[in-house]
Structure 1
């Protein structure tokens, strides 16, 4: 089976400052792929290139073999890329179901007049989309809050709603930008379970950017480490944790072989 995503030879600079410097990776079907690195390593820039926010100066991004490099974000979304954000981006005055329904807009084919009349095709599509949303409500255990304005919900639940809205798009690839940032231990464990359910039950490929290394190493099939836009290592969690270049990038360990004065 072909890869869902190919990120090949990408280079991106801003005013001469390199944000991504020759990064290559692929994401396979049903794979949970993680990108980690210190602050400023280029992780968000990678997401922005995939989702069409940035156009790289070099390299290509293929989604299911189709070149999407530099396409507008709305076109990339229609091709099957959905994204969550570190900061919750929801319509706070709308309830849970209404926020999830917004993720179905790419699947709505009827026009304004049909929507006003709410007959025929409009009615059938609306009911089908609501049925799909209810499946997501069940998957993410949002039933008790389904008719509450999201602005009144606990932070961890809001993050879950944002994840649900991305799922409502029925993506081929899901980009998770720090999905457990700001969560307590219980909320983090719940989110980890939902992420695994999405992979195992829905078969959606995912790219995870996260600073919680325990979560990354527990969940990811493979991990890419970047530092100042440069790829450092890519492999299984076990391989990455044992890589001396990764240890140096994260911990700042000095090479005592090259510097006999070394750590003191």
Structure 2
């Protein structure tokens, strides 16, 4: 799909309410093609609500959300995935009894067009499709250095490897925009450094635009091109990492004014 001129994603004037609670209040930002854009904020700031609006899980009361000029509002999550938006989750969503390769193949589901009978008997188009999709998955396995775990059930994978497999399944969807929901949550320092390296490699090899939600500020400041800071659903700062890190409103939101 050809990219239009301008930002890849435009999230403009979005307000999301649940009864009398405002989760997002007139939130706006843009993501450029190939950019790594980070969203930070204390717990309850509205970070996950932004992702759920992008995924079609929530529908805001006001505002617009467009990807390459195509509105995402009112579309089902599966339709939005088909437009090129993929997401990883803080809590692993892998199928424990399927192998790593089988979990990655599930990320290709929306790209498969085989009918029931040809798929059941694995002939003709079904056979050609599976061979092509398995080849694409093997490229992701190589990119993320998952070769030793290819045939291992996901439920037996070490935690850091399972998080990498979650990333691999999202990449298998061939997205144009990748939503990373706390990709290093629960990791030790070595696993965090490995994940940062893989994210940089994915960006270099695939040129994906990414939105990163993460509490690890050192990771955010090292990787992000720009950062948006939220507090109680309101944007309090947007800019380069160093600018946002030194913003007094951000310091107050995180430290309660102690700085």
TM-score range, shorter chain: over 0.9
**Is the aligned partner of 1:97 residue 2:97?**
no
CA distance in 1, matches of 2:144, 2:62: 39
Task: Note the C-alpha offset of 1:2.
Answer: 2.1
Contact 1:30 1:200 in 2 (8 A): no
Mean CA deviation greater in 62-71 or 98-107:
62-71
**Is the aligned partner of 1:5 residue 2:6?**
no
Task: Note the C-alpha offset of 1:70.
Answer: 2.7
Structure 1 residue runs of 4 or more that deviate by more than 4 Å after TM superposition: none
CA distance in 2, matches of 1:70, 1:189: 38
CA distance in 1, matches of 2:152, 2:256: 47
CA distance in 2, matches of 1:169, 1:23: 28
CA distance in 1, matches of 2:8, 2:96: 33
What is residue 259 of structure 1 aligned with on the other side? Answer: none
Encode CA deviations 1:99-122: one digit per residue, 9 max, x unaligned: 000000011111110112211111
Encode CA deviations 1:14-61: one digit per residue, 9 max, x unaligned: 111000001000000000000000000000000000000000000010
Contact 1:9 1:22 in 2 (8 A): yes
What is residue 126 of structure 2 aligned with on the other side? Answer: 122
List aligned pairs for 1:71-110, cutoff 5 A: 71-110=75-114
List aligned pairs for 1:237-252, cutoff 5 A: 237-252=241-256
SS at match of 2:215: coil
What is residue 71 of structure 2 aligned with on the other side? Answer: 67
SS at match of 1:170: coil
CA distance in 2, matches of 1:193, 1:11: 35
CA distance in 2, matches of 1:215, 1:70: 34
Bigger-Rg structure (1/2): 1
What is residue 222 of structure 2 aligned with on the other side? Answer: 218
CA distance in 2, matches of 1:240, 1:170: 31
What is residue 192 of structure 2 aligned with on the other side? Answer: 188
SS at match of 1:54: coil
**Is the aligned partner of 1:24 residue 2:28?**
yes
Encode CA deviations 1:57-109: one digit per residue, 9 max, x unaligned: 00010011101113111111111110000000000000010000000001111
What is residue 134 of structure 1 aligned with on the other side? Answer: 138
Unpaired runs of 5+ in structure 1?
255-262
SS at match of 2:133: helix
SS at match of 1:61: strand
CA distance in 2, matches of 1:3, 1:247: 29
TM (norm. structure 2) is 0.97
Q: CA RMSD in A?
A: 1.0
Contact 1:5 1:27 in 2 (8 A): yes
Alignment length (residue pairs): 255
CA distance in 2, matches of 1:17, 1:117: 53
Unpaired runs of 5+ in structure 2?
none
What is residue 62 of structure 2 aligned with on the other side? Answer: 58
CA distance in 2, matches of 1:244, 1:116: 61
